[in-house]
Amino acid sequence: YAAMPIPGALLALSEGRAVPEDERARARQSAPAFLAASHVGYVVIEDRLVSQDLRAFAIDILDLRETMRTGGFTLLEPRTRP
């Protein structure tokens, strides 16, 4: 997964590493195909475990919108679905 643009960036951010702008651009470009191939319907974030950088990246790159927040978790979904 580390070699794939979106999973690789998510892994790096979850490990506290920075994602260079060129890798962010590749992730953004591959987002529609990634969402279609992986059939992402929802994303659940455990708020206390996810860094602000990781959260912001996922929301931006996958074009997510917050659906609900409760009990330390945030539920998000893609704004558009393939």
pLDDT tens for each residue of 5-17: 999 999 999 999 9
Q: What are phi and psi of 42, to 5 degrees?
A: -145, 155
User: pLDDT band for position 1 (50/70/90)?
Assistant: low
* Residue 77 pLDDT exceeds 80: yes
What pTM, to 2 d.p., does this model score?
0.89
pLDDT tens for each residue of 27-70: 999 999 999 999 999 999 999 999 999 999 999 999 999 999 99
CB 19 within 8 A of CB 55: no
- Number of separate helices (H) and strands (E) present in the chain: 3, 3
β-partners of residue 46 are 73
Starting at the earlier edge strand, list the strands of the sheet with 64-70: 43-46, 73-78, 64-70
